Chains A and B, each alone.
Chain A
Amino acid sequence: MAKVVEARKLAKRYKGAVEALREVSFEVDENEFFIIMGPSGCGKSTLLRIIAGILDYDSGELYIKGENMKNVPPHRRDVSMMLENFALFPHMTVYENIAFGLRMLGKDKDEIDREVRKMTRLLHIEGLEDRMPNEISGGQRQRVALARALIIRPSVLLLDEPLSHVDYQLQRKFAEMLKEVHREIGGVFMLTTHDQEHGLSLADRMLIMNSGLVEQIGTPTQIYNDPQTLFAARFVGELNTFAGTVEEVSPDAVWVKTEFGTFKARHPAAENARDLVGRRVAYIVRPEHVRVAREDSGQDNRLSVYFNTYYYFGHFLELVFSADAQTRVKSVISANEPFTAKVGEQLTLTWPYTKATIVSKPSVVEGVDIEELIYGK
C-alpha cells in the first residue's frame, strides 16, 4: 500500500540564508496523526510549506498518495493547511472564511451551507458566522482557521503550530478537540509544535527535527524510552544526564564509569555491544525513575546527593538535588508521596538499571560535542 506522504531527502536553502532543510526523509501512513517537533528555527514550517506546495524545494522528492509533487501547484494537491498565524482572510466574515475552499472547488450554495454548518457545530463556533476575523477571540480564530482548512476534507491536513498563539488552557482544550476531530474525520494530520507535552500526547508517530535534519522518527514511547540521540532524548522530556565511559557490556546491560561512580543501565536496543566498550556516552535516566533511598533497598544504582530545593506542580513534585557544585539531579514524585528533607541534607538517590539507558550520539548534526551538550558551554 502506498504511503500517503513520502519525503525523500528533501532539501531547501533560502536565498542567501541558512539551509532550512538539509536532508529530511520520512513516510506517513493512512490515518496517522504525525507530529513534527523541534526547536524554533529547525525547519518545521519550511517542511510543511513544501508539502503544501506554497514553497519550492531545491532537491529530493516528495510524493503524496504516490504522485510526485514536483511542479504541482498547491491548489491541485490533496492537501490543506492551517498556517502559523491562522492567516484568516481579513476582508471576509467567519462564514466566508470557512466556505472559501468549497467555493473555490465550485460547490453549490446549499452544499456549502450544509458543510459550513457541520464544521461550526463540530468545532463549537456557531453564532460567529457573520463576524469579521478581528471581531473574534484568539481561541475562536484558531478554530475558524481549523474549520477553514478541514472543510475541504483533504487527504493530508497540515497544521503549523496550531497550538501556539493562545493561552495554555485553550491549548489543552484545542489539542483534545484536534484528537477527537481526527478520530471522527480521519485522514493524515501533520502537526508541528515545539511543545513536548502536546507532541507526546497527540502523536501516533513523531519526527524530531534539528537544524534541518531528522533526529529520530518513532512512536512517542519509542522516542521517550529509547532515544537514539541525546538531543531527541532531551527534546521529549526532562532528563538526568551523566557523561561517562562504557566499561563493561553484558547482553542486557552496560556499565558506565562516571565521575560519580559506575552506573548500570539497560543495553540500548539499537547499539552493537562490542562497539560500545571504551566509548564516551551519555548515561541518562528520567526524573520519574529516580527515588530517594529509604534504606538499602538493593537497587542497582546509588548516588549520594544534597537536597537543594523542590517545585510543587499540584499533581507532582519535582525535587532538585546536587551531586556536586555543578551537577543537578532531579527526581519527580507524586505529590501524595510523603517527602521531608532539610535543604543541604545528605541523601542517597537510587534508580533501577532497567529504567536507565545510554546514548552514544549527541545529535545527528555534525560537530556537536557530547560533553558540551551535557554540561553546556
Chain B
Amino acid sequence: MSARPPKIMNYILLLPGLLVIAFFLVIPLLLTVVISFMQEFSFTNPIFTVENYIEFFTSPQTPTILANTFGMSLLASLVALLVGYPAAYFMAFRIKSIKTRNLIISLLLVPFLIDWNVRTIAWIPILGESGIVNYLLQYFNIVHQPVSLLFSRWTLIIIWLQSNLLFMIFPIYLALSRIDPDVINAARVLKSPPHRVFYEIIFKLSLPGVIVGLTFVFVNTLGDYITPSLWAGGIQVLGLSVANFAANFVWPYAATQSTVLILISLAVLVILFKIVDIKKLVE
C-alpha cells in the first residue's frame, strides 16, 4: 500500500482557503460585473442595460481619470524601477554579507506595513508650506515665499515609492542573486565589454524580476485612492471615483468603474503571467 496520503486530502486542505477566496473575492467581483450592467441595484426586478458603460466612456471626465490612473501608476512603477534597480543590483553583487542584505530587505518592508494615513501625513511636515524643506529654503534665502511642494504629482510618486519600493527591489534582487557568476564570467571571456555584459547577461536575466516588480507596483498603486485623495482636491483617479459614487449609493455606476479597474488589473496580470512564471521566483 502506498504511504502517500490520498489526493482527496489535498483538496480538503485547499477547501478553507478556496471558500474564503470564493466568498470574498471571486463572487464579489463577478457580482460587480453583473451589477455594472444593471439600471438599479435590485435583483427583485432587474433591468439590464449598457447605459452605464456608455455614460462612462462618453463622460468628459473619463479621459482625465483614466489618464491619471494609468499615468500615475505607470510613472510610479517606472520611477520605482529606476530607483530600485541599482539598489537591487548593489545588494546582489556588491553587498557580500547575507545578513546585511536581509537587513536591508527587512527595512524596506516597514513603510509598507505602516498605516496608510500615517504614510501620507508624514510628508506634510517635510514638504508642506511650513514644512522643513520650505523652512530650510527660506532660511538659506533660496526662496522668499513658501513654495507649494505638497500637492504635486511628484509627491504622490514619492509616497508611493516609499511604500512600494520593496516590491520592486525584492523580485529584481531575487532574479539577480540567482545568476551564476560564471555565466557572467563566460560573457566577459567571450569578448563582451562591461556594458554589454550588463545588458546581454545581467539585465536580460533579471527581466522576470523587473516585470514582476513593475506589475506589483503598478497594480498596487492602481487601487490606492487614499493617498491621492488625502491631498485635498488632489488627483482624480478611478479608485477614488468608485469610492465617491459608492459613498453616494450610485451602485451600478460605481460597479461599472470598478469593472473597468478590474479589467485593467487583470489585463496587466495576464500579460505578466504570460511573460514570466512567478512561481519560479518563489520555489
Contact = CB atoms under 8 A, between A and B. Distances in A.
A165 interface: no
B283 interface: no
A181 interface: no
Contacts of A88: 183, 186
A116 to B, nearest CB: 13
Interface stretch (B80-88, B134-142, B188-196): B188-196
A73 B191 contact: no
Given A83-B182, A87-B182, A73 B190 contact: no
A84 interface: yes
A104 interface: yes
Centre residue among B183, B189, B196, B201 by max chain A CB count within 10 A: B189
Contact of B183 (A49, A87, A149): A87
Nearest to B183: A87
A83 B182 CA distance: 7
A83 B181 CA distance: 11
Nearest to B189: A81
B182 A100 contact: no
Nearest to B185: A54
Interface in A264-289: none
A342 B97 CA distance: 63
Interface string B169-205: 0000000000010110111111111101000110011
Contact of B189 (A54, A89, A90): A54
Contacts of A52: 185, 189
A152 B188 CA distance: 13
Given A91-B204, A91-B205, A83 B186 contact: yes
Contacts of B194: 73
Contacts of A54: 185, 188-189
A74 interface: yes
B187 A89 contact: yes
B200 to A, nearest CB: 8
B190 A53 contact: no
A80 B185 CA distance: 11
Main SS class of interface, B: helix
A351 B183 CA distance: 52
Contacts of B189: 52-54, 74-75, 79-81, 83, 149
Centre residue among B187, B194, B205 by max chain A CB count within 10 A: B187
A104 B196 contact: yes
Contacts, number: 67
Given A75-B192, A75-B193, A104-B191, A85 B180 contact: yes
A164 B123 CA distance: 59
B190 A90 contact: no
Contact of A101 (B180, B183, B191, B204): B191
Interface string A24-54: 0000000000000000000000000100111
Interface string A115-142: 0000000000000000000000000000
Given A83-B182, A87-B182, A90-B183, A152 B205 contact: no
Contacts of B200: 100
A1 interface: no
Contacts of A84: 182
Given A89-B201, A90-B205, A104-B196, A152 B190 contact: yes
A100 B190 contact: yes
Interface string B245-265: 000000000000000000000
A112 to B, nearest CB: 13
Contacts of B201: 89
A185 interface: no
A325 interface: no
A105 B194 CA distance: 13
A49 B196 CA distance: 20
Interface in B133-157: none
Interface in B204-239: 204-205
Contacts of A74: 185, 188-189
A148 interface: yes
Nearest to B190: A101
A4 B30 CA distance: 73
Contacts of B190: 75, 80, 100-101, 104, 148-149, 152
Interface string A52-84: 111000000000000000000111000111011
Contact of B180 (A87, A105, A152): A87
A105 B185 contact: no
B205 A85 contact: no
Contacts of B188: 53-54, 73-75
Nearest to B193: A75
Nearest to B201: A89
Contacts of A105: 191
A100 B190 CA distance: 7
Contacts of B191: 75, 101, 104-105, 152
A80 B187 CA distance: 10
A85 B182 contact: yes
Given A79-B189, A83-B186, A87-B183, 18 more contacts: A49-B185, A54-B185, A54-B188, A73-B194, A80-B189, A87-B180, A87-B186, A88-B183, A88-B186, A89-B201, A91-B204, A91-B205, A100-B187, A100-B192, A104-B187, A148-B186, A149-B190, A152-B191
Interface of A: 49, 52-54, 73-75, 79-81, 83-85, 87-91, 100-101, 104-105, 148-149, 152
Which 8 pairs between the two chains have the least Cβ-Cβ distance?
A: A87-B182, A101-B190, A104-B191, A74-B188, A87-B186, A54-B185, A81-B189, A104-B192
23 contacts: A49-B185, A53-B188, A75-B190, A75-B191, A75-B192, A79-B189, A80-B189, A83-B182, A85-B180, A87-B180, A87-B183, A89-B186, A90-B183, A91-B204, A91-B205, A100-B190, A104-B187, A104-B192, A104-B196, A105-B191, A148-B186, A149-B190, A152-B191
